[in-house]
Amino acid sequence: MNRNELARVAHAMVATGRGLLAADESTGTIKKRFDKIKVEGTEENRRAYRELLFTAPGMAEHISGVILYDETLRQSTKGGERFADFLTRLGVVPGIKVDAGTKPMPNFPNEVATEGLDGLAARLAEYYSLGARFAKWRAVIDIGDGIPSRTCIETNAELLARYAALCQEAQIVPIVEPEVLMDGGHSIERCEAVTDEVLATVFDRLLAQRVYLEGIVLKPNMVISGQKAANRASAQQVADATLRCLKRHVPPAVPGIAFLSGGQSEAEATLHLDLMNRTGPLPWLLSFSYGRALQASALSAWGGAAASVPSAQREFLKRARLCGLATLGRYESALEKQAA
């Protein structure tokens, strides 16, 4: 393991003013998004849509890395250049989603554990040869009546830590993603308590597996009210609670934190990140690793039409620029009204 190189890549992933584009939607997930805009979920349409994002003029000014799906890592631009090579040439780090999704936990109703450790070492070696320099594994923790259980939290934390150790052995930076879902009607206080327990357990297991903390990127949820909560917390309350939680549990050795959007709207996810970055100094860089919160407007503008590619790219670049400003604490809600 070359620790210096792992740390270099991790820092590049959370470079100030830039963040990660999560373009690792599974075939099933992207089909659902295509269905909403009446686009057929073919391999070529998936490839064309990803190319639209990756080739947006000036994309690399705001995007430091892209999380790819297995299919996408093997695809190329219409000019024949592999996506991973194209991104690397732009100074954007290619990454890869490596988990195999969640499965219900026996004896623990409504709780899941993430699968994908079987054969992971061999897959990581192949992904490295294909150009991937970081990976992503998502653990899912739901809040509900009687959940999450301690067993669910411990199981997912252990899986995350074992995945991270395997990644670093393969010279790949692991994104450690323990996501406490914002579904349901829970309060921000409940989310904070659960996120506290999850992060404490995850870092305990990372240390037990001797994971090199300087060579990881944390991708957590923000501490936020459930989407169905009667009284949702304000943006400032979200920023304050999230920072409180992170300061308790995330060691300063971790280079950066790239938040997931987790179902927040584009503007909401950007504002929350900005407010946190206005509260400094902080021991780590705070960035973004957004999927829907970077792509929703672009996807709608595209609609599957080749003639709409430029307008879709403008929408994507607008969101990427605003998220980049949020990493600097320079985002203003008024910027949302400006044309893409």
Q: For residue range 154-202, list pLDDT tens digits in order.
A: 999 999 999 999 999 999 999 999 999 999 899 999 999 999 999 999 9
- Annotated active-site residue in 31, 36, 103, 219: 219
What is the arithmetic mean of pLDDT over 289-306? 94
184 compared with 59, residue with greater pLDDT? 59
Q: Which residues of 65-85 are buried (b: 16+ CB within 10 A; e: fewer)?
A: bbbbbbebbebebeeeebbbe
Three-class DSSP category at 36: helix
- What is d(CA 14, CA 219) in angstroms, rounded to the nearest whole number? 11
Residue type, 204: D
Residue at token pair 């979920």: 41
DSSP character for 112?
E
219 is catalytic: yes
Task: Please provide residue 203's backbone torsions phi and psi, each rounded to the nearest 5 degrees.
Answer: -70, -30
Please state which architecture CATH assigns to domain 3-337: Alpha-Beta Barrel (3.20)
Q: How far is CA 170 from CA 122, 133, 175, 206, 299, in A?
A: 9, 9, 14, 16, 34
Q: How far is CA 203 from CA 139, 180, 198, 238, in A?
A: 14, 15, 9, 22
pLDDT of residue 340 exceeding 80, the answer is: no
Note the pLDDT of residue 249.
Answer: 98
What is the arithmetic mean of pLDDT over 51-62? 97
- What is d(CA 147, CA 139) in angstroms, rounded to the nearest whole number? 15
Question: Which phi-psi region, left, alpha or beta, contains residue 77 (left: φ > 0; alpha: ψ -120 to 50)?
Answer: beta
CB within 8 A of 147, min separation 6: which ones?
A: 108, 110, 111
Any idea of the CA torsion for 35, 36, 38, 41, to the nearest 10 degrees? -30
Q: What is the mean pLDDT of the chain?
A: 96
- What is d(CA 97, CA 190) in angstroms, rounded to the nearest whole number? 29
Contact between residue 260 and residue 283 where contact means Cβ atoms under 8 Å apart: no
* Domains in the chain: boundaries: 3-337
Contact between residue 28 and residue 9 where contact means Cβ atoms under 8 Å apart: no
Give the pLDDT confidence of 124-163 residue by residue, as tens digits.
Answer: 999 999 999 999 999 999 999 999 999 999 999 999 999 9
DSSP character for 80?
S
Q: How far is CA 318 from CA 68, 246, 262, 310, 321, in A?
A: 21, 29, 20, 12, 5
Residue at token pair 């950066």: 256
